[in-house]
Amino acid sequence: MSLEETCKTVLAEMKQLILEGKKHFVRRNRQGKNYLQQLLDMNLTSIDAAWECIVNDLNHTHYHSGPMHDHQDGPGSPLVVWVFKMEINGVIAYIKLKIETNGRGCVCLSFHEDEP
C-alpha cells in the first residue's frame, strides 16, 4: 500500500474513532501558553472545535510526516504518530495524531500554530 493510501486509511480510522467518542486530547502547555490559548490563537473556542476540524476538514493532502514512533513509547514501539499541517482561520496549524489500542482511541498529541 502506498503512503498516500495508508494515510487515507489511517485518517478514516481516526475519524471513525473520534465520531464514536474514542478520543483523547493531550492538554500541553507550549511556549508559555496553555492548550486553550493555543486553540484560541486559531479562533477555535474549545477542544470540540479542534476535533470538528479534524473530522470535517483534515485529509491526506495535509500530510506532513509519519508514521513515526511516539517519543513516550520508545524506539522499539510501533510507528503510530502522524503529523499534519493545514490552514485554520488563516493560521497554519500543526496537528499530531496517533491511534492507541488501549482504549483511548484517537489521541491528539499536538494542535497548535505551526512554527516557521
Q: Using one digit for the tens of pLDDT, what is the confidence trace for 92-109? A: 999 999 999 888 899 999
Q: Which residue has the higher pLDDT, 71 or 42?
A: 42
Domains annotated on the chain, with CATH:
1-111 (3.30.2310.40)
Q: Which residues of 55-75 are buried (b: 16+ CB within 10 A; e: fewer)?
A: beebebebbeebbebbeeeee
**Which pTM does this prediction carry?**
0.91
Closest CA to 7 of 47, 64, 75, 87: 64
Per residue in 46-88, pLDDT (tens digit) is: 999 999 999 999 999 999 999 988 877 766 677 689 999 999 9
